[in-house]
Chains A and B, each alone.
Chain A
Amino acid sequence: MSESSKYILAAGCSFTDPDFKSVSHPSMDVSYPKWPEVLGEYLDLDVVNIGKSGVGNDYITSQLIQNILKDHANIELVVVGWTEIQRFGILDIYRFNPMPSLYRPESYEKSTKQIKSVTPLFKHLYGEFLVNRTFHDCTNLFTEQVTYWFKQMWQIQELCKALNIKFIMSPICGNITLAKYQQVENSFDSKIPWTEAEWHIAYGRINELYDLDKKHYVGYPFLKSLHGFMLNDKIKGGKEISDLDLHPNAEGHEFIARKYYEQYSKVYS
């Protein structure tokens, strides 16, 4: 326990959740310290970790804003592990991730009632705004989802700056490649009519990318082709729980904490 009353506020999904349980290995002991707690040890600061499994970036943003506004005077550092950009929630009742349903349409019959009820919406959304959209159409799901995520990060960035709170963030779980989006083609008769070059042009045209203060972001600009990354790609090969469960193991959490610490040291030392 540190002597300072100030603390680290950490937010994110299952990669950050202090109470994470492995769905693939329910009996496995995964109670090892998660990356925010490891980071707290490095910086000798207490940690308030509000990470929660299954949540989307909408939930992460709203929880962060509430927590920061309530207790900003005591927050030394905000750290965020952003999650898959395709996720969204309905109030705090339902949390959805359309990608598995659309990638594995054959699993529909075995799905939960809530997934069954919303799968037609997923199909409409991804069909209408992705599979049936060429690069030259104005609105498309990829650009919309990425822009929305950049705006969420920007909100937290600006809130922290306004309140003089230190912050370090990174995408920690997810994938924004064309290949990932092509998984949804399993639910449609046609293919996504985009090339890799068009995918990158669309990404580079999102003005909100340039509003992010890059020194505060691990992995910026988050594209492998521009030497960016998402942290889940960096823990592949030995730092995951298993081949079935790709969440970080104890070594993976140490690795992620080091990445945040290195970025913190670059900005604030």
Chain B
Amino acid sequence: MNSIQKFILKLKFKLLILKMRIKPPKTEVDKSEGFIYEEDED
């Protein structure tokens, strides 16, 4: 990643965070299960 790309991405982060500070987003509830590969014991 070159310095211009880094600068742009860091700027995007700053703008995003500023937006979140002004209007805090609500964290959505995540009900997704993890991936399990072993059966539970009986």
Contact = CB atoms under 8 A, between A and B. Distances in A.
B29 A179 contact: yes
Contact of B10 (A177, A200, A204): A204
Contacts of B24: 195-197
B1 A14 contact: no
Contact of A214 (B5, B17, B38): B5
A221 B9 contact: yes
Of B14, B25, B32, most A-chain CB atoms within 10 Å? B32
Interface in A72-123: 84, 95, 97, 99-100, 103, 107, 110-115
B35 A183 contact: no
A173 interface: yes
Given A14-B37, A53-B37, A201-B17, A180 B30 contact: yes
A203 B30 CA distance: 19
Contact of A179 (B27, B35, B40): B27
A180 B32 CA distance: 8
A204 B13 contact: yes
A225 B16 contact: yes
A107 B40 contact: yes
Nearest to B12: A226
Interface string A163-207: 000000000010101111011000000000001110011011000
Given A196-B25, A197-B21, A23 B36 contact: yes
Contacts of B5: 214
A213 interface: yes
Given A99-B34, A182-B27, A200-B16, A110 B10 contact: no
A212 interface: yes
A211 interface: yes
B23 to A, nearest CB: 10
B14 to A, nearest CB: 8
A110 B20 contact: no
Nearest to A24: B36
A54 interface: yes
A32 interface: no
Nearest to A221: B9
A200 B20 contact: yes
Contacts of A175: 30, 32
Given A110-B40, A197-B20, A201-B17, A97 B34 contact: yes
A178 B27 contact: yes
B41 A110 contact: yes
B25 to A, nearest CB: 5
5 contacts: A175-B30, A179-B27, A183-B30, A200-B17, A210-B9
Interface of A: 13-14, 23, 53-54, 84, 95, 97, 99-100, 103, 107, 110-115, 173, 175, 177-180, 182-183, 195-197, 200-201, 203-204, 209-214, 221, 225-226, 246-247
